[in-house]
Amino acid sequence: MTITSPHLGSSEAWTDARLLYALEEVVEKELNRHLRVAKDWMPHEYVPWADGRNFPGVFEDGEAWEPGQSKVTDIGKTALVVNLLTEDNLPSYHHEIATLFGRDGAWGTWVHRWTAEEGRHGIVMRDYLLTSRAVDPDKLEQFRMAHMSEGFESDNRHSMLHSVAYVAFQELATRISHRNTGHQSGDPVCDRMLARIATDENLHMVFYRNLLGAAFEIAPDLTMQAVRDVVVNFRMPGHGIPGFERAAAQMAIGEIYNLRIHHDDVLQPVLRFLKVMDIDGLGPDGMKAQEELGLYMGGLDDEAARFDEKLAARRARLAARAKG
């Protein structure tokens, strides 16, 4: 099946300001839908407060942190820290999207609502980590200070369409990362908490995915180029976290987030839902971007297959070693 997208004026006519205005009605519709289906929840209800005790410092009876005090797995701890530090940079994310999308009308209402919902995630994750003693509280705070002190600048801040395309994929990537972290955490309490966060992230993805679909209808060539650029150059917002590359490698091996997951569970679902590779009626630039996107996805699938083979070989070695 193909989708025909009419050209509504030349690509050169679409400035960010015009696109924001043209999509305002869609934003209002998606905002209203989001508010109907989103459920408010209380972060404190997901934290095992009864497991908490004082740390040394102000409290003389404080108990020093030790690695064995938590039931969370090692890979769960690594991923939880990465996910939390990513959420911690919310002030910078808010600044980026508020500057790009504006603070007025439906766009502004969405920006503030999204920020408020995302704020819950950092609150509940930090409370859980400290109460369950899953991580060293001193190091966690040192990482937070280092990461936030660097700030955050989006790779896509130059373009409204690139930013919409990015968050359509990134919100799903975050949802998958949280959900898989919960599954691998070894703690049912952590799993429930991250499932709740993942539900929010999925609703955010749906908002941006539907907005991206509307952008394809009014500016297909520019939107196709934006999607091509974002997919080819995609990286998670937490890439500036201290030790991120090592943590990302561990998360890849631990099957929380890796090339196969990125291809199969993040990129493909959005591209397939929007039928991006079936859109016709594109101009030369749009057709070129669509072709390059298809080639990249094929290459990424091949790369993911090679990663799968290495991961399987690693599992086999570990199993053989365990048998003695």
List, in order of start, the domains of the chain with CATH numbers.
Answer: 30-40+73-314 (1.10.620.20)
Asked if 156 contacts 44 with a C-beta cutoff of 8 angstroms, the reply is: no
Q: Say which residue the tokens 């108990």 belong to.
A: 63
- Tell me, what's the pLDDT at 11? 56
pTM equals 0.91
pLDDT at 316 over 90: no
Q: Which residues pair with 59 in a beta bridge?
A: 56
Is 309 annotated as contributing to ligand binding?
Answer: no
Report d(CA 186, CA 15) in Å as an integer. 49
Confidence at residue 213, expressed as pLDDT on a 0 to 100 scale: 97
pLDDT over 80 (residue 22): yes
Lookup result for tokens 């990424």: 300
Answer yes or no: is pLDDT of 156 > 90: no
Q: Is 162 flagged in the annotation as binding?
A: no
Average pLDDT, the chain: 92
Per the model's pLDDT, the better-predicted residue between 115 and 318 turns out to be 115
95 is in an annotated binding site: no
201 is in an annotated binding site: yes
Query: Do 4 and 286 contact (CB within 8 A), yes or no?
Result: no
pLDDT for 2 equals 36
Give the position of tokens 């009864």: 50
Q: Which of 276, 248, 273, 275 is nearest to 262 (CA)?
A: 248
Mean pLDDT of 38-56: 95
- In this prediction, residue 155 carries a pLDDT of 86
Q: Which of 81, 88, 190 is nearest to 138 (CA)?
A: 81
Confirm whether residue 171 is marked as ligand binding.
Answer: yes
Determine whether the annotation assigns residue 60 to a binding site. no
**CA 111 → CA 115, 152, 223, distances in Å?**
6, 17, 21
